[in-house]
Structure 1
Amino acid sequence: MSRLDARWFIDIYERKVDMNPILLEIAKLDFNRVQSIHQEDLKYASRWWRSTRFSEKLSFARDRWMECFFWTMGMGFEPELSYFRRTATKIGVLITAIDDLYDVYGTLDELELFTEAVERWNVDALDQLPDYMKICFLGLHNSVNEMAFELLRDKGINVIQYLKKTWVDLCKSYILEARWYHTGYKPTLEEYLDNAWISIGGPLLLIHVYASETSPMIQDMESLEKHIDIIRCSSIIARLADDLGTSTV
């Protein structure tokens, strides 16, 4: 990450005989200023994570909020991207928890119910879910609605339908993979990629970030669906890179 490189370069530059002390001081001040912003973002993410109590209520899910925060740092370290880092950390945590729900814990019947609940996007759906799924669903529901509220409050645009759709699409891709697994079906490469570019979470993250870091109009959000190949291609790259990282071949 570029900020770690900056810290390394500062140490090297400081040892140079012909170094400029004013430039060095400015570099240190800049590094410390940006680091303090990152630390505030980290505190926010930590408080949010503890408030969900996912680590207690969803003991099967990976505790990776810190890793998710570092991912956001790699994507956008700039001080003005504080809201992006906070939002993207939440998204990463929610994706991780739901991914583990589908991959390692829920039965196929329970996962079908969870997928239906996400499609309905209504707290009334809680009654049909097992207790452990209620925490996961309501945590997702409340967090995404809060993101949509903040965008409506601060930018005057209602994007809840677009954010909700990305989570519905993600859960549909997860349930398809779960059905393949439980029935022993081996998809073709084309079938796999048609689903995997969504299940990697790329479209979900990109659409959330686009809404939060620009000043979009509804027409802009609708245009994303017309130019979905941009998102699809970048998501396929992410999926294949991720698969290579876990491949045993």
Structure 2
Amino acid sequence: MSPKQDEVIRPLANFHPSLWGDQFLIYDEEVQPEVVQIIESLKEEVRKELLIDLDDPTKHTDLLKLVDVIQRLGIAYHFEMEIYQALMHIYNVYGDRWNRGSPFIWFRLLRGQGFYVSSDIFNDFKDETGSFKESLTHDVESLLELYEATYMSVQGEAVLDDARAFTKAHLEKIAKDPIQCNSSLSRRILEALEQPIHRRLPRMNALRYVPFYEQQVSHNNSLLRLAKLDFNRVQSMHKKELSQLSKWWKGFDAPKNLPYMRDRLVEGYFWATGVFFEPQYSNSRIFWVKSFMMAAVLDDTYDSYGTFEELDIFTKAVERWSMTCMDTLPDYMKMIYKALLDIYDELEETMEKEGKAYQLNYAKETMKEFIRYQMMEAKWKNDGYIPTVEEHKSVAFLSCGYKMLVTAALVRTGDIITEESFKWIDTFPPVVKASSAVCRIMDDIVGHKEEQQRGHVASSVESHMKQHDLTNVEKVYDFLNQQVEDGWKEMNLESLICKDVPTPVITWVINHARVMDLLYKYDDTFTRVGEELKDNIKQCFIHAMSV
């Protein structure tokens, strides 16, 4: 028998309760049919514009700018085929040598679409000493475009590393200079320095870009109207999903039954829309959120509440994956175990009818794997063991849960995904490993001080300090932050060379890392929900855009 819970000393983390109460529980509005009709006719207008003048080279710069605006307004998912055709055409015509003016947007868009164009073109902007030309600093828009392009770099592209250092230094100066830039431009520069386009979530990028685009004298009214109407239509669907998930989560009654865990359903749903916000992935999003919330329950149970003996019993029960194991579990774990099995059971019949039962099997196996690695960390903590850097990576990159969540993201995504994609993720390919590294390291850095105070398992910070005999924790943070940058370069490379799976799969993997860049840059804002995340959630799920 396990010890009585009240006799056990547990390392409680004291997480704050949910900030949202029941406000998302009920939602029953519908998007008006006439709005859907307007959206469809606006889409047709934009579609024609994208395919016009492909054969006229004088229009190619405008075409790139149109694609850039469509992406930044958050409506590119309507025009994936047209955008691919347009950029493919430009790639076929120009190859690596774009000669229609500034190559900065060209480079960012083509690499973003998976075309491996060379960065050698950036050497044209250097002087005879090998430094970037000072004349670049006279055109702030162009400087910003160069800065944004540098975030598409892969390992070994020194010219882009130099360009990033050069543009960053000058943009920081310009943003503070009222003579060189007005308050609107200053804000844009600061936002770009805070988070470049390549690392932004599409919905958050749209929220920032729509008001800016509206102020441009040359803005396209059809595009602007489409962006606003579509944002609100998708928001309506998100509210409906959030209501459905809130009802499911309320049945859990986490504050009463699992008071030790982070009660973060709304934040978890925000995370899901960061991975994929598009309407066609509704079923998958719901499954992803349930998987995510179970992972959060399990993470807090393994990290902050369960005794080593209890966790050992639970891990063995998960391996067996059968309701007959319920009797072996401590009372508080029974509910967790049942909820875990239920998530997969409730989909089984549907998936079998669709001939896709294999998807659930992969999802289940990666969940078991996630729990096995959580258990390995619990053993380290129980033994007071600080692993080597390599040992830590081999466990922590899987205990962070991103491999499991990327697999969950593929379940019920329709016909674009075949079993090949699941098999590919199962091998823990470089892009998934890099996204997991970004997740684990960023989480370790921002949570380091607080977690060590409550006897958390040794993180990558401790492993590096011990192995390299370091005492200066700030230096370790700097070193680990560089590893995060390396992870981004690895993801960029994989998005260019990996042709094993459909493009959306790679995008979803990278989007998992983009969420980290938003939520874990300076603090763990998922655990300690701050004003910025609250504001982002309100903008995404409460306030509609004014049309």
CA–CA distance in 1 between the matches of 2:434 and 2:205?
29
Cα distance between partner residues in 2 of 1:23 and 1:214: 28
Task: Write the mapping of 1:222-233 to structure 2, written as runs, cut at 5 A.
Answer: 222-226=423-427, 228-233=429-434
Match of 1:239 in 2: 440
Q: How does 1:153-192 map to 2 (within 5 A)?
A: 153-192=353-392
* Match for residue 207 of structure 1 among 393, 403, 407: 407
Q: Partners in 2 of 1:52 and 1:25 — Cα distance?
A: 41
Q: Displacement of 1:225 after TM fit?
A: 3.5
Report the Cα distance in structure 2 between the residues aligned to 1:144 and 1:245, rounded to whole angstroms: 33
**For the Cα contact (< 8 Å) 2:360–2:411, is it kept in 1?**
no
Which residue, out of 85, 94, 99, partners 2:285?
Answer: 85
Deviations 1:88-107 (A, max 9, x none): 21111111100111111111
1:38 deviates by: 1.3
Query: 1:229/1:150 Cα in 2 relative to 1: closer, same or farther (>3 Å)?
Result: farther
Query: Residue 135 of structure 1 corresponds to which residue in structure 2?
Result: 335
Instruction: Give distance in 2, aligned partners of 1:42 and 1:122.
Output: 30
| Other structure's SS at 2:263 match | coil
Larger radius of gyration: 2
Within 1, Cα distance between the matches of 2:367 and 2:326? 17
Quote how far apart the aligned CAs of 1:172 are.
1.1
In the TM superposition, 1:21-170 aligns within 5 A as: 21-170=221-370
Residues 120/26 of structure 1: CA separation in 2 closer, same or farther (3 Å cut): same
- Contact 2:403–2:425 (CA<8 Å) still a contact in 1? no
Provide the C-alpha distance between the structure 2 equivalents of 1:156 and 1:69, rounded to a whole number of angstroms: 25
Give the Cα–Cα distance (whole angstroms) in 2 for the partners of residues 52 and 227 of structure 1.
32
Q: Is the 8 A contact 1:110 1:129 kept in 2?
A: yes
Q: C-alpha deviations, 1:5-63, integer Å up to 9, x for none? A: 32343334444556555444333222211111111121122111112223321111110
The DSSP-based 3-state class of the residue aligned with 1:195 is helix
Q: Quick one: structure 1 residues 56 and 153, their matched pair in 2 at CA, closer, same or farther if it must change by over 3 Å?
A: farther
Query: Any idea what SS the aligned residue of 1:146 has?
Result: helix
Which amino acid in 2 is paired with 1:231?
Answer: V
Contact 1:157 1:218 (8 Å CA) reproduced = no
Going from structure 1 to structure 2, the CA distance change for 1:17 and 1:93 (only over 3 Å counts) comes to: same
Against the structure 1 CA distance between its residues 14 and 97, is the aligned structure 2 distance closer, same or farther, given a 3 Å change threshold?
A: same
CA 183–217 in structure 1, closer or farther in 2 if over 3 Å, else same: same
Deviation at 1:155, TM superposition (A): 4.6
Shift of the 149–60 alpha-carbon distance from structure 1 to 2, 3 Å rule, reads: farther
- Structure 2 residue ranges without an equivalent (≥5): 1-200, 450-472, 474-547
**Number of aligned residue pairs:** 249
Contact kept in structure 2, 1:157 and 1:217, CA below 8 Å: no
Question: Greater CA deviation, 176-185 or 219-228?
Answer: 219-228
1:226 positional shift: 4.6
**Contact residue 37 and residue 79 of structure 1 kept, 8 A:** yes
**Greater mean alpha carbon deviation, residues 7-16 or residues 62-71:** 7-16
Query: Is the Cα contact below 8 Å between 2:284 and 2:410 reproduced in 1?
Result: no
CA contact (8 A) 1:173 1:199 kept: yes
Which letter maps to 2:326?
L
Deviates more, 1:67-76 or 1:27-36: 27-36
1:229: how far off? 4.6
Deviation at 1:206, TM superposition (A): 1.4
- TM-score using structure 2 length: 0.42
| Residues 117 and 154 of structure 1: CA distance in aligned 2, closer, same or farther (over 3 Å) | same
Alpha-carbon distance, 1:241 to partner: 2.6
Counterparts of 1:150 and 1:135 in 2: how far apart (Å)?
A: 24
Do residues 197 (structure 1) and 397 (structure 2) align? yes
Q: Report deviation, 1:230.
A: 4.6
Whole-Å separation in 2 of the counterparts to 1:227 and 1:4 = 29
Q: Deviations over 1:188-222 (max 9, x none)?
A: 11111111111000111111222332545556544
Name the SS for the 1:159 alignment partner: helix
SS in 2 for 1:60: coil
Q: In 2, distance between residues paired with 1:5 and 1:160? A: 33
CA drift at 1:228:
4.3
Query: Between Structure 1 and Structure 2, which shows a larger proportion of helix residues?
Result: 1
RMSD value over aligned CA atoms? 2.3
**Which blocks of at least 5 consecutive residues in structure 1 are unaligned?**
none
TM-score of the superposed pair, with normalisation by structure 1: 0.88
Give the direction of change, closer, same or farther, for the CA distance of 1:57–1:153 in structure 2 (3 Å limit).
farther
Other structure's SS at 1:212 match: coil
Change beyond 3 A, Cα 1:214–1:203: farther
Residue identity in the other structure for 1:102:
Y
